[in-house]
Structure 1
Amino acid sequence: MNILISGGSGFLGSALSEAMLKHYQKTDKKLQITWLTRDSNQAHPRDVTMMTYDELASSDTYFDVILNLAGAGIADARWSDDRKEQLLASRMQPTKDILAFMARSHVKPKLLISGSAIGWYGSQGDKPLTENSGFQADFAHQLCDDWERLAQQATELSVAVAIVRTGVVIHPAGGMLSKLLTPFKLGIGGQLGDGQQIMSWISRDDWVAAVIFIIDQHLNGSTYQSNDATQATHHIPSNKGATIYNLTAPNPVTNHAFTKILGAWLHRPTFFTLPKFLLKLMFGEMSTLLIDGQNVLPQALLDAGFKFKHQTLKEALEQ
């Protein structure tokens, strides 16, 4: 089985590549993973092949599955107008390149998995949100929605599409947790605002396992479908539309609870509080990621039979 990954060297893509190599070694499927990159000299694992976007434009290689994970980190810099354009371009251009490759391929991939984020739902407080929920319009929603709509054009090429809306990924090697470890270890970690905003998280191990689960589900012809016919636009057979998955753990926590659990894990006090006005002053519009919560639930994964290894934040940290 041949798999192409854009963003393969990132925090998620690298862990996914390693896990897939181990997973498919246990089956009768011979696996070849190719990372799509703009830098042909990029370091990569010995078992991974590299392909540039220029090479993709003329390649006739067949890929069973394409994973579209490339995109600049939404929380890595303040949202200036230029930064917003960078965030969008870093998602749209790789997707356009992949769509162009699929359009001219004589044999189409069986599945495109395209990244997104729970930011698609916008800020909706503590309201439970599943794949069938609506959205509140803001920049994060528009960014995710533009990316998703472009990726879904692959269905017009008779390619199955799965959209993975990812929450806060928990692992000390990267993401939000790696940025918090130093201040918390120094005893200056604390809650954000009133701490009541909901944080929808997932351990990196479960994120990786969920993506492999989705691949196996689609390739085995057993994709999830909603029982609610009125919301079937999100969960219909993949030859007619995209399937949406929330990649979050089933037990979101408040920022206050997250702060206390992380402090206890590190055996450090958590007395400090960063007030909302200071967060807005420091981060501008991007402060919505810290102040406004989202209670996003992985209904599609649960209904499809996926079993989470880390159902609680304490379990995820201890692992």
Structure 2
Amino acid sequence: MDSSRIAVTGASGLIGSALVRSLTDDGHQVVRLVRREPQGPDEVRWDPQESYVDAAGLAGVDAVVNLAGAGIGDKRWTPEYKRMIRDSRVFGTTALAEAVASLPEPPRVFVGGSAIGFYGETGDRITDEDAPPGDGFLPSVCEEWEEAAAPVREAGVRTAFVRTGLVVSSAGGAWAKMFPLFKAGLGGRLGNGKQYWSYIALHDEVAAIRHILDREDLSGPFNLTAPDPLTNQEITEAMGRVLHRPTPFPVPAAVLKTVLGEMAEDVLGSQRVVPKRLLESGFQFAFPGIEDTIRAAE
């Protein structure tokens, strides 16, 4: 992509901040959507909870990447926080999509955040983008999240969704909480360890988003996961090998349910999700294997 003006929501999050760095390093102009008063021409005011976007600030953008949303693993899933998880995604996306669709000259592409939670529990079944949504809280959130972008698609803007897996990074997200435990020799499998985890290196997550931005022929859903999902037991063993620490302490399912509440179902659930459409588009992973992914994240 030639030098472009790209609007990004969630620019301060794990993925968003890495994406912004990558884009600016390559000479692109990034416009961050912020919830406070803008402090310069590279910021635009929005309030996803109030469904507000300063549409005028988006004039002239070539692309929009929507990554905003309350963290899935940041807090215990109380009814109030579950509502925040949903509303921060659905209301924010609706407001952003309507603002983008209202522009006299809309951007050429809209990339919307989503998650492999779309598929729900998949067991050991290999799951690609052709699979339907699953049942439960996260699948319903992801389905509404994607549907909220309808105004952009209906305005003729190329629209894609990135259904992201577990992002491996020591800088944030669920994996950042695991590194200190494993380095202290306190890591271990979760539950019986047989559940599949579909992971992706942060580097590959950003590269995949940029790949989708660049390719005019790509639209619809894309699973952003490494090609070969592994079980929690296999990942635990890999963490131990890379970090040179024993992994002797399994965490029983009952303990996880006590500590995490309803969110434990997501941790103990199995999702064997593969990036079929990404691979078919010619994308090449820099870190397809788990050990290289963990080393890259340290």
Which TM-score band (shorter chain)?
Answer: over 0.9
**Aligned ranges 1:189-208 → 2 under 5 Å:** 189-208=187-206
1:86-127 per-position Cα deviation (integer Å, ceiling 9, x unaligned): 001111222122123123210111111000000000011110
Cα separation, 2, equivalents of 1:58 and 1:217: 27
Matches within 5 A, 1:17-32: 17-23=20-26, 25=27, 31-32=28-29
Q: In the alignment, which residue of structure 1 is the partner of 2:288?
A: 311
Unaligned runs of 5+ residues in structure 2 are: 47-51
- The separation in 2 between residues aligned to 1:176 and 1:83, in whole angstroms, is 17
- The 2-side partners of 1:288 and 1:252 are apart by 18
Q: Deviations over 1:241-274 (max 9, x none)?
A: xx11000000111100111111121111100011
> For residues 294 and 132 of structure 2, what CA distance do their matches in structure 1 show?
31
Q: Determine helix, strand or coil for the equivalent of 2:226.
A: coil
Q: In the alignment, which residue of structure 1 is the partner of 2:45?
A: 52
CA distance in 2 between counterparts of 1:41 and 1:64 reads 20
Secondary structure of residue in 1 paired with 2:160: strand
Aligned-partner residue type, residue 287 of structure 2:
H
Count of residues in Structure 1 that have an aligned counterpart in Structure 2: 288
Cα displacement string for residues 111-158 of structure 1 (whole angstroms, at most 9, x for unaligned residues): 110000000000111100000012321101001111011113311111
Does the 8 Å CA contact 2:8/2:66 hold for their aligned counterparts?
A: yes
- Corresponding residue of 1:251: 228
Please, which runs of 5 or more residues in structure 1 have no aligned partner?
26-30, 224-237
* Aligned amino acid, residue 20 of structure 2: S
Shift of 1:60: 6.0
Which one of 230, 243, 247 corresponds to residue 266 of structure 1? Answer: 243
Deviations 1:47-99 (A, max 9, x none): x9211116724436221100110001111112111111100111122212212
Q: 2:103 aligns with which of 97, 102, 105?
A: 105
The alignment's TM-score, normalised by the length of structure 1, stands at: 0.86
Distance 2:272 2:175 in 1: 19
* Greater mean alpha carbon deviation, residues 102-111 or residues 51-60: 51-60
1:64 maps onto 2:57 in alignment: no
SS of the counterpart of 1:158? coil
The alpha-carbon distance between structure 1 residues 60 and 134, as it changes in their structure 2 partners (threshold 3 A), is: closer
Q: Deviations over 1:172-227 (max 9, x none)?
A: 11112210122212211110011010000000000000011101112xxx32xxxx
Q: Is the 8 A contact 1:6 1:94 kept in 2?
A: no
SS in 2 for 1:191: coil
Cα 1:116–1:6, aligned 2, differ >3 Å: closer, same or farther? Answer: same
TM-score by structure 2 length?
A: 0.92
The one of 163, 183, 186 equivalent to 2:181 is 183
